[in-house]
Amino acid sequence: MISVVILISGRGSNMASLLAAADARTLPARIVGVLANRPDAGGLETATAAGVPTRVVDHKLFARREEFDAAMAAAIDEFAPDLVVLAGFMRILGDAFVRHYQGRLINIHPSLLPTFPGLHTHRRALAEGVRIHGCTVHFVTPDLDHGPIIAQAAVPVLDGDDEATLAGRVLAQEHQVYPQAVRWFAEGRLRVSGGRVILASPQDGSSALIAPQASGA
Ligand code: GRF
């Protein structure tokens, strides 16, 4: 059983999917703390209701990013987690922070990386007319939205999609793929070799690529 700290900035639906998986004992992990950089992050209430301790490290109270990063790291380290999970955490973390947690810091990004790093991924996917979109779970490195890919889930982009429908289709996959990736980490199945994550054969037949039917989610 590993201990996990989750960092959020907003509603925290990915956090909720991890809490649910841990609760259902399908995740050999204990969520020991939820930290937010915004006092109004909606996910804080969800975490509290689930009995998980929360902390706020308000980025607005820090003049420099390094100071915020250090305060956040100090708050995280109080929980001594085996894994730090970014779940809709909308601050860029500096090199020192990332290096401190390298190998035990993961993120979910709402696109099939390396396409569409950064913001507004669904809008940009629609503007480019891509047929396929999705989400990526990856180890965090100092390069933003980069780093060895643990799992990806693909969804079709359908005629008539708008940002909201596409975001919803991707989010449904995020809620599957993130608990899956954390499970693999907890089971010690992930090894990074030459920038690629090698997944040691999961017993449940799960795959690092999830590709639902082309007709929709
Ligand atoms: C998700 O789409 C995540 O991939 C992105 O921000 C969104 C956060 O959603 N980084 P939630 O807070 O987990 O509901």
Atom index in ligand 1 nearest the CA of residue 15 equals: 13
70 CB contacts (<8 Å, ≥6 apart)?
97
Give the structural domain span for 67.
Answer: 2-199
Assigned domain for 212 exists: no
b/e code 165-200 from CB counts within 10 Å (16+ = b): bbbebbbbbbbbbbbbbbbbbbeebbeeeeeebebe
Q: Decide if 181 is inside a domain.
A: yes
Partners of 133 in the beta sheet?
155
CATH number for position 48? 3.40.50.170
d(CA 211, CA 34): 30
Beta partners for 5? 33, 84
Residue 217 domain-assigned (yes or no):
no
| Cβ-contact 127, 166 below 8 angstroms | no
Q: What is the CA radius of gyration of the chain?
A: 17
Distance 88 CA to ligand 1 centre (A): 4
Ligand 1 centroid to Cα of residue 124, in Å, is: 16
Residue 103 falls inside a structural domain: yes
122 occurs within a structural domain: yes
Q: What is the number of structural domains in the chain?
A: 1
| Residues 119/159, Cβ–Cβ less than 8 Å | no
Ligand 1 neighbours by CB, cut-off 6 Å: 8, 10-14, 87-88, 108-110, 135, 171, 174
Q: What is the pLDDT along the chain (217 residues), one digit of tens a residue?
A: 999 999 999 999 999 999 999 999 999 999 999 999 999 999 999 999 999 999 999 999 999 999 999 999 999 999 999 999 999 999 999 999 999 999 999 999 999 999 999 999 999 999 999 999 999 999 999 998 899 999 999 999 999 999 999 999 999 999 999 999 999 999 999 999 999 999 998 777 888 888 876 665 5
For residue 12, how far is its CA from the centre of ligand 1 (angstroms)? 7
For ligand 1, what atom is nearest to the CA of residue 174? 4
**Residue 43 located in a structural domain:** yes
User: Residue 20 falls within a domain, yes or no?
Assistant: yes
